[in-house]
Chain A
């Protein structure tokens, strides 16, 4: 078949579909786990395709019998009010994060209620989206965006509910110029628990503070205890930590307690993780960088610039940059920054126009 962009393998699955939807270009993904004992798409991936179908108009999805090949022809992004039941294999954030790439360019506002797990070891926490990704969107001009946790639902039984609302719709993202490393003025965080002793949140706060105290800045970690119906079906706890700067950039990290892990160990690990993150990030941490890069590419026809730490160029980012090039034809160029070991990522926007706006 002609006119299809070809991708191979299961990696970068959601973003490939998002890039396709933004560009309006049809894609084919083949060899999805073709050598696996259990080949083909996973439950959460199929569920994600359903969600994409629901927020667009006129998309077509063809999946091969074995589930190893997929052809996706994107329609227009229309958004709207809906509710999505997420499978228990991944957290609701697996579904929320990619929606943030589409929502600002939709015909109607996005108002989606996600039901399922609100935490999972391999996914971002709800608070990381709220304090990590939404501020980055704001930098690109998407101001009215909110995420409300109606109830928490911990691993494994879930029962959580989260409401995503994106009211801003913009023609294209603002051109980014972030060349300096902003000074961190304080460290903030959220320590939460469901269906366990509320003292756990304070134990986490104390441990995290003891690690972070030598930084010399103010540390303010909020305790967030969930009770009754709003605490989901499983016991659990977790902590999110982020830096605060005057310019609004935040580095953010989170994790949840694993079986047998003490709240102290978890909080210390996340706190050390934040220090590691400060040491090895530019203005954004890796999960924020993905969104920033995509928004730089679909921005105005101007050169956007963003400071990153050199080790932030990792395998995942290279795959993403290759996928971006395949879809939009845009390359990133890295040049030295004034700061040692930091680079400036530059890319020219494609002058993308919000397709639904053009028609309306």
Chain B
């Protein structure tokens, strides 16, 4: 749809606006998708030009992957959630039979 096309255009522009901190790029992008009201890109630029380019000191610990706690993971995947990724797997002959 036209709406999604606009969102994609936004991220392509946002990525290379160097005065916007990467964390804010992500925030902008994801937030925008949540409220259907699409913010004007000009407004974003304006309000970022005022922002001081102070460099954030990144956390010393680089982590490989940010996983939730085991409890949360267990809860998420113990339900039928696994069905949502079923399509990523090759079906076994038995599953194919069951589908028919």
Report A's interface with B, CB cutoff 8 A: 8-11, 31, 33, 35-36, 121-124, 181, 183-185, 211, 214-217, 253-255, 265, 268-269, 272-273, 275-276, 278-279, 286-287, 313-316, 318-319, 321-322, 325, 331-336, 343
Contact = CB atoms under 8 A, between A and B. Distances in A.
Contacts of B84: 279
The listed residue with most B CB atoms (<10 A of its CB), out of A122, A275, A325, is: A275
A279 B85 contact: yes
B64 A275 contact: no
Nearest to A42: B60
A198 B74 CA distance: 26
Contacts of B63: 121-122
26 contacts: A9-B55, A121-B63, A122-B61, A183-B88, A183-B89, A215-B85, A217-B90, A254-B64, A269-B73, A273-B65, A276-B67, A278-B85, A286-B65, A287-B64, A315-B22, A315-B23, A316-B22, A319-B22, A322-B15, A331-B12, A331-B16, A332-B15, A334-B8, A334-B11, A334-B12, A336-B4
Interface string B8-38: 1001100110100011011001000000000
Contacts of A122: 61-64
B57 A33 contact: yes
Contacts of B74: 268, 272
Interface residues on B, range: 35 or more
Contacts, number: 107
Given A9-B55, A268-B70, A321-B15, A275 B85 contact: yes
A287 B65 CA distance: 9
Nearest to A322: B18
Nearest to A333: B12
A321 B5 CA distance: 21
Interface of B: 4-5, 8, 11-12, 15-16, 18, 22-23, 25-26, 29, 55, 57-58, 61-65, 67, 70, 73-74, 76-77, 82, 84-86, 88-92, 95
Given A9-B58, A124-B64, A336-B4, A216 B92 contact: yes
B26 A318 contact: yes
Contacts of B58: 9-11
Contacts of B88: 181, 183-184, 278
